[in-house]
Amino acid sequence: MTEVIHNSTVDTLLNRTSIRRFKPDMPTEAEINTLELVAQHAASSQYLNDWSAIRVVDTVLQQKIAEICHQPYVASAPLLYIFVLDEYRNAQIAKRNGVDVYSDEFTLRNSYRFSQAQNDAVLALHAMETAGESMGIGSVILGSIHNDMDEMIKLLHLPEYTYPVLGLALGYPDQSPAIKPRMPREVQFFEDG
């Protein structure tokens, strides 16, 4: 067996599971503040911070998102975030500085910037998820928000230059699922191509 270094961070990552049943208790304000601060400290391409996260607090909206996801447990998660790639904010900054955001001068609307913004949103979500795990807050990542993207955009009132990337449902776990097995490393890691 290959030697592995263990510490609290490594063990948090190695022991993570997706939680789909939550206790009804809301995480504390300090925990929520910490989760959001950690997400903000994730790596960001060119320091553009071109992502946003929407904390869904309206129970009717949360239910509608659960319906889009086809996952009823989403409606009962104490915390629900939708991470969004967000070039709209940067477009507004550019407009205030005299840039025509519909011209080629506005380079943040190209496919590279959108993919980088998506990456940044995923990194922020992962930082939040890992921090939550380290504090005893379980979560599940929701790619299922893409089941009806037009409706998601409408429900969240998203402006141009934005796009929902992933959802994250969080709360104190009310289940203890087994850790899923992983493929052997040699099937996923290669040297020099």
> What average pLDDT does this structure show over 148-154?
98
Measured in degrees and rounded to the nearest 5, phi and psi for residue 140 equal: -140, 135
Asked if residue 2 belongs to a domain, the reply is: no
Could you tell me if residue 166 is left (phi over 0), alpha (psi between -120 and 50 degrees) or otherwise beta?
beta
**CA 165 to chain CA centroid, nearest Å:** 7
Give the pTM: 0.93
- Specify the number of domains making up the chain: 1
Give the structural domain span for 30: 8-173
Asked if residue 102 belongs to a domain, the reply is: yes
> What average pLDDT does this structure show over 14-31?
97
CATH number of the structural domain spanning residue 139: 3.40.109.10
Asked if residue 191 belongs to a domain, the reply is: no
In the block, residue with structure tokens 């040699």 = 186
pLDDT digits (tens, 9 = 90+) for 98-145: 989 888 877 776 788 889 999 999 999 999 999 999 999 999 999 999
Position 45 scores a pLDDT of 86
Position 143 scores a pLDDT of 98
